[in-house]
Amino acid sequence: MRADRLLSLLLCLQSRGQLTARQLAEELEVSVRTVYRDLEALGAAGVPVVASGGPGGGCRLMDGWRSPLLGISAEEATALLAVSSGGPLERIALGDALPQARLKLLASLPTAGREQANTTASRFHVDTQAWFKPPEPVPHLAVLVDAVRRDRRLRLTHGSRSGARAVDPLGLVAKAGVWYLVVRSDRGVRAHRASRITEAEILAEPFTRPADFDLADHWARWTAEFESSLDQLPVTVRLTTEALAALPEILGDTTSSARATPDPEDGWHRLLLHFDSPRAACRRLLGFGPDAEVLEPPEVRLELAEAARCTAARYREPADSLP
């Protein structure tokens, strides 16, 4: 999205001349802080942006500097085309503008560069959807998008909670095919999984965005805090060589086997893993079958042993005797 925003910023400066950072922020529907960061990025990329302070000051392009596509190269156009290949944006109103934006981008290039950029971009595809999961239905996504774009307050109801609450929708984030709504309320700034919102009503009351709020920065901090709050239960396990090799497949690619300590006596490997709870540890470690043994803590070992006994008892009865 930042590449599209930088392009919009350049087009805005070229078509409208000098504008203040506040006017640019309102035009692009971002914070003033984001505008300043984007202007610095344009300057670093070689675009001659001039900024002056005081009354009558603002941001503009250097006098006489103009280009059909602001000096963008075929490689830069290829990058923009590749990252704007739809994905979650195709599910919201912004997705309707993507095909037209691609056409304008290509039309602004010379013929040779246009063919090269289009051909090269077609060789890259960004798929943000997780494996084996269809797109998550979000019945009120259009309402959420409208409220975010127009800075209008929302009255939300969650399926797991009673009663509605008025919030300020600060932004929408798509992560691995799942939409999250970042809101501000009397409980602070929080993120809600959009699919779990059962009712969403746009209120007539507008709200003022915090001047220092940056959606990307907030999301990075929030996700880091969320991830660090999970998997706090340490579990020591013994794994066979086969189980160690299957570690990424069963527990996920983020689990590293580099910390495993081999036992020279029996060829097994000792490893410290972390889970959210004893029940979560039991469910996930059952996937290793007899190739894994929990050493500690005792509550996980006992729960896993009980689960194994119940599973064995269920299969003890011959299949031909079942109804």
DSSP string, 9-76: HHHHHHHH--B-HHHHHHHHTS-HHHHHHHHHHHHHTT--EEEE-STT-EEEEPTT---TTTT--HHH
- Number of C-alpha atoms within 13 angstroms, CB side, residue 305? 10
Mind listing the pLDDT tens digit for each residue in 265-283?
Answer: 888 999 998 888 899 899 9
Cα 146 from chain centroid?
20
Give residue 171's pLDDT band: very low, low, confident or very high (50, 70, 90).
very high
Which pTM does this prediction carry? 0.58
Mind listing the pLDDT tens digit for each residue in 291-318?
Answer: 999 999 999 999 999 999 998 888 887 6
Residue 190: the pLDDT is 92
Mind listing the pLDDT tens digit for each residue in 71-82?
Answer: 566 677 777 777
Give residue 155's pLDDT band: very low, low, confident or very high (50, 70, 90).
very high
Check whether 15 has a pLDDT greater than 70: no
Check whether 167 has a pLDDT greater than 80: yes
Residue 1: the pLDDT is 47
How confident is the model over 72-95, as a mean pLDDT? 66
Percent of the chain residues topping a pLDDT of 90: 29
Mind listing the pLDDT tens digit for each residue in 126-152?
Answer: 777 777 778 888 899 989 999 999 999
Percent of the chain residues topping a pLDDT of 70: 80
Residue 257: the pLDDT is 58
Residue 180: the pLDDT is 94
- Poorest-confidence range of 132-136, 198-202, 217-221, 250-254? 250-254
Cα 185 from Cα 201, distance rounded (Å): 15
Give residue 56's pLDDT band: very low, low, confident or very high (50, 70, 90).
confident
Specify the long-range contacts of residues 171-176, CB closer than 8 Å, at least 24 apart.
Answer: 171/215, 172/92, 172/144, 172/145, 172/148, 173/215, 173/219, 174/87, 174/88, 174/89, 174/128, 175/223, 176/128, 176/129, 176/130
Q: For the chain, which domains are there? A: 2-121 (1.10.10.10), 141-216 (2.30.30), 233-316 (no CATH)
